[in-house]
Amino acid sequence: MKYLDMLRRAFFWPGTLLTKKLGIDPESEFGLLRSLFNSLVWTAVGLGILFMFVF
């Protein structure tokens, strides 16, 4: 379970960091902004990896 918790924290880290920098408590806003930031970050990372292998 320790490894699953570490994986969960690593996956949610970008959104948690950005919401904290904006002065918003990541736990109080029900994860909507955090999930938006996470999807934007991980989509950019995924596209970067995809373009490295395709082009």
Closest by alpha carbon to 44, among 30, 32, 31, 52?
A: 52
**Is pLDDT larger for residue 19 or for residue 51?**
51
**40, pLDDT greater than 80:** yes
CA within 13 Å, CB half, 9? 6
Q: Region 25-47: what's the mean pLDDT? A: 86
Distance separating alpha carbons of residues 37 and 16, to the nearest angstrom = 8
The beta-carbon contacts of 38-45 under 8 Å, at least 24 apart in sequence, are 38/11, 38/12, 38/14, 41/14, 41/15, 42/11, 42/14
pLDDT reported for residue 41: 94
